[in-house]
Amino acid sequence: MTIKTVLATGEEHMKRTIEKFRGDLTSIRTGRASVALIENVKVESYGTMMPINQMAGLSVPDARTIEIRPWDISQLQYIEKAILKSELGMTPANDGKVIRLPVPTLTEDRRKEIIKSIGKIAEEFKIAIRNERRQMVEDIKKAEKDKIIGEDDCKKGEVESQKLTDGYIKKIEDMLAVKQKDLMEV
C-alpha cells in the first residue's frame, strides 16, 4: 500500500465525517424553520417505523412554520403523535389535512444549552478525524515495516496525514463557529 493510497483513503473517511457533522448541525434548531429539523422524526405507520419525509411532503411556507402534508390523510394522527413524542419541543397544529409546526423562538438559556451541546458534538467529530489520522499513520508504519516504503517516505506520510487532519479539524471549527453565530443572532 503506497502513501498516496493511505492518504487518499484517510481523506475520503475524513470527508464523510465532515458531511455527517454538517448533517447533524442542520438538524439542530436555530429558531428558523427548516425541514431538516424534522426529517429524522420516525413515524409508526403500517406496522413499521418510517422517516416522516417518506410519508409526507415537507415545506417551509414562512420563517417560523414547517408544513407537513401527508400523502395518506389517515396517517395524519400518527405523524402528529410522533412529533409530540420527539424531543423537538414543538406543538403541531392539525387542521385535518395539513400539520403546521410553529417553530418557537429560542430563549437565551436554551441557546446557551444548544451551543454547549454542539460544542460536545464537534469534539466527537474532531476525535473521529484524529482517529482517521491514527489509522493512516499505522498503515504508513506498517508499509515501512513491510519494506514497501522507506523511512523518509514514512516521515513524509506522517507529516501529510497531520496536515490533512489539521485542515479537517479547522473545517469542523469553522462550521461550529458559523452555527454558534447563527444561534446567537436569531
Q: Quick one: cell of 77? A: 394522527
Q: What's the CATH superfamily of 3-27+107-185?
A: Ribosome-recycling factor (1.10.132.20)
Show me where the domains of the chain are located: 3-27+107-185, 35-102
Q: In Å, what is the CA distance from 149 to each residue of 48, 157, 160?
A: 52, 10, 15
Ranges of H-type helices in the chain: 3-26, 76-85, 108-145, 151-185
Q: How far apart are CA 53 and CA 50, in angstroms?
A: 8
Q: How far apart are CA 27 and CA 140, in angstroms?
A: 37
Q: What would the pLDDT profile of 38-97 be if each residue is shown by its tens digit?
A: 877 888 888 888 888 888 888 888 878 889 999 988 888 888 888 888 777 778 888 888
Q: Which of 131, 141, 123 is nearest to 164 (CA)?
A: 131
- CATH (one of 3.40.50.300, 3.40.50.170, 3.40.50.720, 3.30.1360.40) for 35-102: 3.30.1360.40
Q: Would you say residue 22 has pLDDT above 80?
A: yes
Q: Which of 4, 16, 27, 33 is nearest to 121 (CA)?
A: 27
The predicted pLDDT at position 29 comes to 65
Q: How far apart are CA 88 and CA 68, in angstroms?
A: 15
Q: What percent of the chain has pLDDT over 90?
A: 31
